[in-house]
Amino acid sequence: MTLEIAEFHSPIGTIVLAVRDGTLTALVFAEGWPDRRARLVKRFGDVDLRGAADPAGVSGRLAAYFAGDLGALDAIPVDPGGTPFQRRVWAALRTIPAGETVSYQTLARRIGAPTAVRAVGAANGDNPVGIVVPCHRVIGADGSLTGYAGGIERKRWLLAHERAGTLEQRSLL
């Protein structure tokens, strides 16, 4: 199996992404790539990693997102794998609009598992397609920024970027 791999240099660090048959299967900050690569091998078996400039247009969409087009990532097809529960959590994450946040508890309620707050947090932490599946939009019940695989400073930056963009878009209306 072939995975197209690209590096994208963002304002918050280098991102590595993997695309299989036109579908995004991984997006992580560079320091998380060795672990994510091992997980891809475990999931898909022997993989042939091939460098690509802009596999499935994902790099271009990331550039648009970081330039302020907050909807640029919405149509990217993803295949994160995972358990049925994880896939429910990850699908729910994609419904959280840019510029908004929800608590882990709210997310648990949205997927019909109100007592599974910790499991929702674990699924959020295992998200293999960061930013596109926007786990950074989930916060603590008290409004605090909790956990993010890329680090709290990156989470803070992403949320500020999205809030600034949505405020700018609203002022244009």
- Catalytic site residues? 135
E strand intervals along 11-98: 13-20, 23-29, 48-51
**Around Cβ 11, how many Cβ atoms within 10 Å?**
10
Beta bridge partners of 103: 139
- The single-letter DSSP state of residue 98 is T
The rounded distance, in Å, linking the Cα atoms of 148 and 61 is: 22
The rounded distance, in Å, linking the Cα atoms of 56 and 103 is: 32
